[in-house]
């Protein structure tokens, strides 16, 4: 009896969290679903949700997918060498390197993207340097490449941190045992480090893929407003067109799409360790 | 020498300016069960890691069958290691763990299959092929680790305190099994432990180490019966180590009592260390002993009683099958054979030993 009382007392501590969840996640979700499934007159319709299949929306979705997959793959390819290099450092230096990695995240997001715009624009710093070196100039401003650079720069830490944690958890003895049994560096990575860091890798994929799939600020600034991600279209429906029904409908179908692609990723995680993020 | 398989030649190794190994020389014979024994931090594990290729010595050479392998990485050496923490690959089952080294050597599937079967039988683990390491007990994991190392047919098997994490009963069983496995596969074992009983039970030859220096090497019996200095005597089993004065050949004065012994060749009135094993001391009637003291405590240890007897300032440790009564006056006596007399340390090396007592 007394036990039940203490549990009840303790459960009050979660009240702020419950209020937060209900007020800022659950209710907005219900509202979004309501908008998505109705038209302006309030009648039920599936047109808004199905609008994702319109050619113009589909094109944006495919482009978003390209950016998201590309960003995720590039982040993975960059993260592993960095993590393996960090692993060799002593702990103090590892902390410093991590600090440097996270440092840009303390600056305003928009500011960072604007800085990239300055660097990549046709009269920007990058071309200035290339011209000084007599290497001509690059025309990557307002292109998919510029957007890709922006999302990779922004989401890279979210890939590094979970992979770093997973790799650091691998017992050094296990790696030595593999070497002892005849494994060279490549085999050690492929057979030991990579499979044992899959939980971190999956967390990283979720944390990079989902936001880069749905982002719109990066493409707005670095894409010059010409290249539209699905996020840009949703944003415009809410702001310029003031068509909340269509915006909500696209959001809901995008969410379903992302959930499906994530479920597909997680299926490959036989142990289910990576699903901690869910 | 033909049957010498490995030679450590003047190995020196420091970590953070702290010397772990100081000019270590060691020869290991083919098919020998050799044990490196010493307290933690004595350099025994570092020695093993240098043989395995996980550490490079600052100075000196590692010779394998006469060839210099000092700079060779672990994967290129024909030695395998059994680690203290088992270190099985957690994402692979037992079969995959054992096959790991063989697959890298591109052996045929049939060969690998036969080897796994043989190795699991050898370590009494047949039927466990598909189990994951997490579902195995510590002892079972260590058996798999031994199998995983042995299937590669290494010339030398390195064992780094492999039984350290197991409970006492299991440790005893595994000791017997290791000896059996050693006989069966006929390869050289280099074994590291801080457990003197384990070393005495299993080894052909024991290397006692302290502070990066070899204190004594020899068979179990010679190390136990004739320790060369106070450190070895103290480390190999409980001992009474006390100051003595050599009055003349075959007579040593302990606690102002002259006692006959068998040692000769010391200087007259030379200060010496005297080692007497607890099981060699006999409790007799007060008037019949060389030394007279009072019984402080009696502890029943199963096979014997451990009795503390205070004589003057010194507490003698005595092991006896008969109990004594605390608080009574008794005499202590000993056979001349069972007194070990050792020179007091002079050299810097030996001085190091004294500090650690």
| ipTM of predicted assembly, 2 dp | 0.78
pLDDT for A140: 83
Query: Mean pLDDT across the stretch B109-122?
Result: 94
Cross-chain CB nearest to B91 (options A176, A177, A195) = A195
Nearest-CA distance A77 → chain B (Å): 23
Determine contact: B320 vs chain A, CB below 8 A.
Answer: no
CA distance B254 to B339: 11
Tokens of A228: 């539209």
Which CATH number covers residue A222?
1.10.3720.10
CB B349 within 8 A of CB B232: no
| Terminal alpha carbon distance of chain B | 37
CA distance B260 to B262: 7
**How wide is the angle at C-alpha B236 spanned by C-alphas B233 and B242, nearest 5°?**
30
Classify residue A42: in a domain, yes or no.
Answer: no
- CB-CB neighbours of A33 under 10 Å: 15
Mean pLDDT of chain B: 90
Domain shared by A123 and A69, yes or no: yes
Mean pLDDT by 10 residues, chain A (278 residues): 56 88 93 92 88 90 94 96 91 88 86 90 87 83 90 93 94 93 93 94 92 88 85 90 92 91 73 42
Cα gap A125→B289, rounded to integer Å: 97
Residue A18, CA atoms < 13 Å, CB-side half-sphere: 5
- How many other CB atoms sit within 10 Å of the CB of residue B317? 16
Note whether A92 and A143 are same-domain residues.
Answer: yes
- A25 plus A126 within the same structural domain: no
CA distance A234 to A50: 14
Chain B hits for A177, Cβ within 8 Å = 81, 83, 87-89, 145, 148
- Check residue A142 and give its pLDDT: 84
In a domain, A41, yes or no: no
Q: Which of A275, A229, A272, A227 is nearest to A250 (CA)?
A: A229
What pLDDT, in 10s, does the model give residues B261-296? 998 888 888 989 898 999 999 999 999 999 999 999
In sign, the C-alpha dihedral spanning B72, B73, B75, B80 is positive
> Is the Cβ pair A181, B148 closer than 8 Å?
yes
- For residue B204, is pLDDT > 90? yes
> CA-to-CA distance for B110 and A177, rounded, in angstroms?
24
Confidence band (pLDDT; 50, 70, 90) for B346? low
Asked if A173's CB is within 8 angstroms of B85's CB, the reply is: yes
Q: Are residues A4 and A73 in the same domain?
A: no
Q: Mutating which of B88, B100, B164 best tests the A interface, going by the most A Cβ atoms within 10 A? A: B100
> Looking at the domain assignment, is residue A88 inside a domain?
yes
Q: What is the pLDDT of residue A38?
A: 92
Handedness of CA B75, B134, A264, A213 (dihedral sign): negative
* Residue whose tokens read 């070497």: A179
Tell whether A175 and A203 lie within a shared domain. yes
Decide if A84 touches B, using CB distance below 8 A. Answer: no
Q: Which of residues 52-91 of B touch A (CB under 8 A)?
A: 52, 54, 73-75, 79-81, 83, 85, 87-91
Identify any residues that bridge with B81 across adjacent strands, giving them in sequence order.
B158
**How many residue contacts between A and B have a Cβ separation below 8 Å?**
61
pLDDT at B350: 46
Does residue A60 sit in the same domain as residue A84? yes
| Chain B closest-CA separation from residue A162 CA (Å) | 19
Measure CB to CB from residue A187 to each of B79, B85, B104 and give the nearest one: B104
Cβ of A174 under 8 Å from any chain B Cβ? yes
Question: What's the gap between Cα A1 and its chain centre?
Answer: 47
Q: What range does the domain containing A224 cover?
A: 48-277
- As a whole number of angstroms, the distance between CA A87 and CA A103 comes to 20
- Residues linked to residue B283 through DSSP beta bridges, in sequence order: B332
Residue A258: inside a domain, yes or no?
yes
Q: Are residues A82 and A196 in the same domain?
A: yes
The answer on A261 and A220 residing in a single domain is yes
- Residue A43 tokens read as 């009648």
Domain count, chain A: 2
Residue B353 DSSP one-character state: H
3-state secondary structure at position B66: coil
A213/A96 same-domain check:
yes
- Is A177 in the B-facing interface, judged by CB distances under 8 Å? yes
Domains of chain B in sequence order: 4-225 (3.40.50.300), 239-355 (2.40.50.140)
Residue A268: the pLDDT is 64
Average pLDDT (B66-74) is: 92
DSSP strand E in chain A: where?
none
Output the DSSP codes for A83-117.
HHHHHHS-HHHHHHHHHHHHGGGGS-HHHHHHHHH
Are residues A53 and A182 located together in one domain of the fold?
yes
Percentage of chain B lying above the pLDDT 70 cut: 96
Residue A91 and residue A149 in one domain: yes
Tell me the whole-structure pTM to 2 decimals: 0.78
């Amino acid at each position: 009896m007394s036990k039940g009382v203490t549990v009840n007392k303790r459960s009050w501590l979660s009240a702020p969290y419950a209020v937060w969840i209900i007020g800022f996640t659950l209710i907005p979700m219900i509202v979004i679903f309501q908008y998505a499934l109705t038209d302006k007159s309030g009648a039920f319709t599936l047109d808004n949700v199905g609008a994702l299949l319109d050619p113009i929306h589909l094109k944006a979705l495919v482009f978003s997918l390209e950016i998201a997959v590309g960003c995720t793959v590039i982040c993975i390819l960059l993260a592993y060498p960095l993590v393996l290099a960090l692993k060799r450092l002593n702990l103090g230096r590892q902390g410093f390197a991590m600090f440097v990695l996270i440092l840009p995240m303390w600056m305003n997001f928009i500011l960072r993207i604007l800085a990239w715009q300055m660097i990549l624009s046709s009269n920007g710093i990058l071309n200035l340097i290339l011209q000084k070196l007599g290497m001509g100039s690059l025309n990557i401003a307002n292109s998919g490449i510029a957007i890709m650079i922006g999302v990779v720069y922004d989401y890279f830490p979210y890939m590094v941190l979970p992979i770093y944690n997973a790799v650091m958890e691998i017992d050094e003895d296990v790696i030595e045992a593999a070497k002892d049994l005849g494994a060279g560096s490549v085999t050690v990575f492929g057979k030991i480090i990579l499979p044992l860091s899959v939980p971190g890798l999956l967390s990283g994929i979720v944390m990079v893929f989902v936001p880069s799939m749905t982002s719109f600020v990066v493409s707005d600034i670095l894409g010059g407003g010409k290249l539209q991600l699905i996020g840009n279209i949703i944003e415009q429906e809410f702001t310029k067109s003031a068509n909340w029904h269509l915006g909500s409908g696209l959001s809901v179908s995008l969410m379903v799409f992302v959930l499906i692609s994530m479920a597909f990723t997680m299926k490959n995680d036989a142990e289910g360790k990576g699903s901690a993020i869910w | 020498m033909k049957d010498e398989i490995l030679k450590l030649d003047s190995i020196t190794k420091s970590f953070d300016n702290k010397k772990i190994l100081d000019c270590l020389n060691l020869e290991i014979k083919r098919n020998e069960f050799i044990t490196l024994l010493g307290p933690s931090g004595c350099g025994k594990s570092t020695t093993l890691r240098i043989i395995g290729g996980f550490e490079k010595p600052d100075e000196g050479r590692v010779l394998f069958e006469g060839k210099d392998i000092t700079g060779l990485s672990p994967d290129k050496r024909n030695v395998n290691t059994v680690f203290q923490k088992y270190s099985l690959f957690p994402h692979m089952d037992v079969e995959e763990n054992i096959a790991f080294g063989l697959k890298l050597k591109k052996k045929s599937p049939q060969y690998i299959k036969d080897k796994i079967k043989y190795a699991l039988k050898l370590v009494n683990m047949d039927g466990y092929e598909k189990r994951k390491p997490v579902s195995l007990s510590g002892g079972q994991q260590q058996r798999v680790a031994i199998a995983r190392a042995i299937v590669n047919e290494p010339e030398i098997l390195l064992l780094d305190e492999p039984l350290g994490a197991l409970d006492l009963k299991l440790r005893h069983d595994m000791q017997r099994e290791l000896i059996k496995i050693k006989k069966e596969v006929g390869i050289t074992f280099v074994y590291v432990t801080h457990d003197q009983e384990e070393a005495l039970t299993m080894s052909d030859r024991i290397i006692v180490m302290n502070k990066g220096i070899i204190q004594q090497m020899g068979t179990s019996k010679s190390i136990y019966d004739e320790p060369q200095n106070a450190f070895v005597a103290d480390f190999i089993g409980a001992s009474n180590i006390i100051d003595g004065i050599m009055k003349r050949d075959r007579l040593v004065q302990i606690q102002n009592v002259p006692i006959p012994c068998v040692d000769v060749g010391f200087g007259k009135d030379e200060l010496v260390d005297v080692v007497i094993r607890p099981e060699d001391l006999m409790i007799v009637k007060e008037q019949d002993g060389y030394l007279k003291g009072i019984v402080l405590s009696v502890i029943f240890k199963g096979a014997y009683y451990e009795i503390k007897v205070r004589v003057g300032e010194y507490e003698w440790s005595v092991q006896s099958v008969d109990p004594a009564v605390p608080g009574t006056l008794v005499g202590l006596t000993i056979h001349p054979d069972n007194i070990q007399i050792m020179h007091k340390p002079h050299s810097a090396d030996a001085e190091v030993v004294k500090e650690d007592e």
